[in-house]
Structure 1
Amino acid sequence: MTTPTIRTEFAQRTSLKPGDRIAIVAGSGRLPVNVAESLSAAAHSPFIVMIAGEVDQQADLAAFEHQSLPLEDIAGLVPLLKRHSITHVILAGGIGRRPNWRAFRPRLSLVTLLPRALAALGKGDDGLLRALVRMLEGYGFKVIGAHQVVPDLLAAEGNMTNAKPLKTDWRDLDAALQAARAIGALDIGQGAVSIGGRVVALEGIEGTDEMLGRVASLRGHGRIAGKKRGVLVKSSKPGQELRADLPTIGPLTVDVAHAAGLAGIGIEAGSSLILDYRSMVERADALGLFIVGLHAGKPQ
C-alpha cells in the first residue's frame, strides 16, 4: 500500500494561539471525536457542544468539557459559546433531521436568526449551513473547517489500499463521480453508486449508508442482476461551504459498501474527509475492497 500525498490548497492548517478557545458543535459520526482528540493532543482541549439526539459517540466526547444543546435551541448556541469564552468554532458531524421550527425556544437572538434560517431553507442544506456560519461570524467567532485543524483527515489523490481498481472499475468511477457532482449541484447529496457502467443509486437525505442498503436490495433487479463489482463515489458539492459537511468515509463505509457487493470506493481528493484512516484501510484490505482518491477533474 502506498500513501499518496495531498496536493490541494485545502490542506492548510489553521494557526491556533495558546489563548484560543475552540468549540466543536458535534453531530453524529466519528468526525467530532477525531477533531477533539487531535486538538487535545495539540494542547487545545476543546469545548464540545453536543446536539441532543444526534451525537452517537457520547462516551468518547464526554471525556472533554461538554454541554448538550437541543437542535430547537440553536439560537442558544451564541450565548453558550460566549459564556465559555470561545474564539473558534468547528461544525463537525451529521445532523439527521431538520429542526422543528414550531418547537423553537423563545430567545432574543432568535428574532434575528429565524428569518435568515427560514430563507436559507429554500436554498437547501448548504444554504442553511452558510447561514449558520455567517451568523456565528457575525457574533465575532472564527468558523474553521475540521480539515484546517486536522489536515491529515483530507483524502489524498491515488490508491490507498492493496486492491486497485480494474479497467472496468474506472468506468464506474467516472460515471458515479459525474452523477455525484450533478446531484451535488442541486444540493441533493454527495454520493452515487455505479454498477456495470450504469448509475444505480443516488444519495438523498437518507445518507450514504441507507443508499448502500438500497443497492444491496437491488442486486437481484433485472438491469443489474448478475453484474458484479460496482463502486461508491463521494464528492463535494460545487461551491460547497467547505467548513462544514464535507463528504466523509470511514471503516463503517467500507463495511456497508462490502455488504452491498461493491468492489471499491472513490472519494474526491482534497475536499473530502477520511475518518480513522488506518482502521479503514486495514478493513478494506481484509475485505478486498479498493479505496482511491480521485482527482478533481476525472478519475483517470
Structure 2
Amino acid sequence: MTQDGRLAVIAGSGMLPVYVAEAARAAGENPFILPLKNEADQRWDGFDTAVIGVGDMSGLSALIRRHGIKRVVMSGGVKKRPNFNEIHVNLRFLMKLPFAVRTLLSGGDDAVLKMVIQLIESQGCRVVGAHEIAPQLLAEIGPQGTARPNDDDQRDIAAAMKAADALGRLDVGQGAVSVGGRIVALEGVEGTDRMLQRVAELRAEGRISSRRRGVLVKLCKPQQDIRADLPTIGQSTVEHAARAGLAGIAVEAGRALLLQRQETLAMADAAGVFVSGIELQHDSTL
C-alpha cells in the first residue's frame, strides 16, 4: 500500500479496468476492484473485489472505510444510469441528493461524471485518472502505426476537429466523422462503434461518397474533467472504421487512450487505416 492509501478501481465494461488494475499492481500497489453490477464484464481472479451498484453510494462509502481506500479511479463503460430505486445514500450524500437527481435527469455524460467525482470525493477519497495509473496507454503525437494521413485526410481531420469540439461543448459526444470535408456523422449516446456502423450503412446506401474515404476524430470535451471518460480507441474502433471505409482515426495526443496498442496498430496497418495523435491548445486550468 502506498502512503496515499489504497487504490480502488471502479470497473465498468471493457478491458480498460483490467489494464489499469494490472498497471497499478506492476507499480507495487494492491488495487481493490469494484466491478459495477450489470456493467462490468471481466474476470477479476487474484484481485480483492466487491460488486457494487452504480448508484450505491452508501455501499461505496462503507467499502472505502473498511479497506482504507484513499484514491479511486473510474474506468470502463457504463451504459445505463441508475434508477431512483437503485440509489442508496448515506448522510454525507443526503445533502447532495437533489443536485444528483437533477443531474441524472437532465445532465449530459460530462455533467454526470463530474457529479459522480464530487460524490466520491465527499467520502474522503481523491479521484485520479486512468492515465495517471497507466500512462503508457496515452496516445502520442503523430502517426502511431505505419499508415499516415495524406493532404485530403488532414483536411478531414481539421473539419472533424471543429465538429467534435462544438459537439463536446454541448456535452453530447466526443467523436465526429468527416468525408471530403463534409461532416457526415456526430457521436451521440450510442457511442463511437454504433456511429461508425451508421457511417458504413450510409456508405452502402450511396449517401456518402465512395470516392473519398474520410476520418474519425475523437476529442475530449473542452470542459471535461480528464479524470474520467478520456476518449478511448482500440481494435473495435479500427474494425468499425475500416468497415465504414475510413482512411483513419485521429485522437488527441496525451488526452486519449489507445488500448492493446500493439494489436490495435497491427490491425490498423493490415487494414490500411492510420491512427494518429493530434495536438490541441487547451486552457492551462484543465
Q: Considering Cα pairs closer than 8 Å and 6+ residues apart, tell me whether 1 or 2 has the greater RCO.
A: 1
Give the letter for the 1:189 counterpart.
Answer: G
2:28 corresponding residue in structure 1: 43
Q: What SS does the corresponding residue of 1:87 show, helix, strand or coil?
A: strand
TM-superposed CA distance for 1:25, in Å, is 0.6
TM-superposed CA distance for 1:126, in Å, is 1.3
1:115-126 correspondence to structure 2 within 5 Å: 115-121=98-104, 122-126=106-110
Q: Is contact 2:93-2:119 (8 Å) kept?
A: no
Return the alpha-carbon distance in structure 2 between the equivalents of residues 106 and 226 of structure 1: 53
Q: Is contact 1:190-1:247 (8 Å) kept?
A: yes
1:111 corresponding residue in structure 2: 94
1:266 paired with 2:250, answer: yes
1:160-239 correspondence to structure 2 within 5 Å: 160-239=144-223
Return the alpha-carbon distance in structure 1 between the equivalents of residues 99 and 45 of structure 2: 32
User: CA RMSD for the aligned pairs?
Assistant: 1.9
2:46 corresponding residue in structure 1: 63
Give the letter for the 2:185 counterpart.
Answer: A
The alignment's TM-score, normalised by the length of structure 2, stands at: 0.92
Return the alpha-carbon distance in structure 2 between the equivalents of residues 91 and 266 of structure 1: 24
Q: Deviations over 1:77-110 (max 9, x none)?
A: 1112221111110011111111112443465555
Please say which of residues 146-155 and 205-214 is displaced more in the overlay: 146-155
Q: Deviations over 1:136-187 (max 9, x none)?
A: 2222111111111121222111111111011111111111111111110000
Return the alpha-carbon distance in structure 2 between the equivalents of residues 287 and 210 of structure 1: 19
1:147 corresponding residue in structure 2: 131
- Aligned to 1:138, which of 101, 114, 122? 122
How many percent identity over aligned positions?
47
Return the alpha-carbon distance in structure 1 between the equivalents of residues 33 and 95 of structure 2: 25
Return the alpha-carbon distance in structure 2 between the equivalents of residues 172 and 106 of structure 1: 47
Return the alpha-carbon distance in structure 1 between the equivalents of residues 209 and 156 of structure 2: 16
Return the alpha-carbon distance in structure 1 between the equivalents of residues 127 and 89 of structure 2: 25
Q: Give structure 1 stretches of 5+ with no counterpart.
A: 1-15
Give the letter for the 1:89 counterpart.
Answer: V
1:87 corresponding residue in structure 2: 70
Q: What SS does the corresponding residue of 1:284 show, helix, strand or coil?
A: helix
Q: Deviations over 1:193-212 (max 9, x none)?
A: 11111110100011001101
Q: Give structure 2 stretches of 5+ with no counterpart.
A: none
TM-superposed CA distance for 1:33, in Å, is 0.8
Return the alpha-carbon distance in structure 2 between the equivalents of residues 196 and 284 of structure 1: 21
2:227 corresponding residue in structure 1: 243
1:217–1:275 CA distance, 2 compared to 1 (3 A): same
Return the alpha-carbon distance in structure 2 between the equivalents of residues 179 and 130 of structure 1: 23
Q: Is contact 2:4-2:71 (8 Å) kept?
A: no
1:104–1:79 CA distance, 2 compared to 1 (3 A): same
Q: Is contact 1:75-1:109 (8 Å) kept?
A: no
How many residues are matched?
281
The alignment's TM-score, normalised by the length of structure 1, stands at: 0.88
Give the letter for the 1:41 counterpart.
Answer: A
TM-superposed CA distance for 1:27, in Å, is 0.7
Q: Is contact 1:27-1:95 (8 Å) kept?
A: yes
Return the alpha-carbon distance in structure 2 between the equivalents of residues 105 and 161 of structure 1: 46
Q: What SS does the corresponding residue of 1:242 show, helix, strand or coil?
A: coil
TM-superposed CA distance for 1:75, in Å, is 3.8
Return the alpha-carbon distance in structure 2 between the equivalents of residues 260 and 101 of structure 1: 39
Q: Is contact 1:75-1:113 (8 Å) kept?
A: no
Please say which of residues 122-131 and 165-174 is displaced more in the overlay: 122-131
- Aligned to 1:158, which of 142, 149, 157? 142
Q: Is contact 1:196-1:224 (8 Å) kept?
A: no
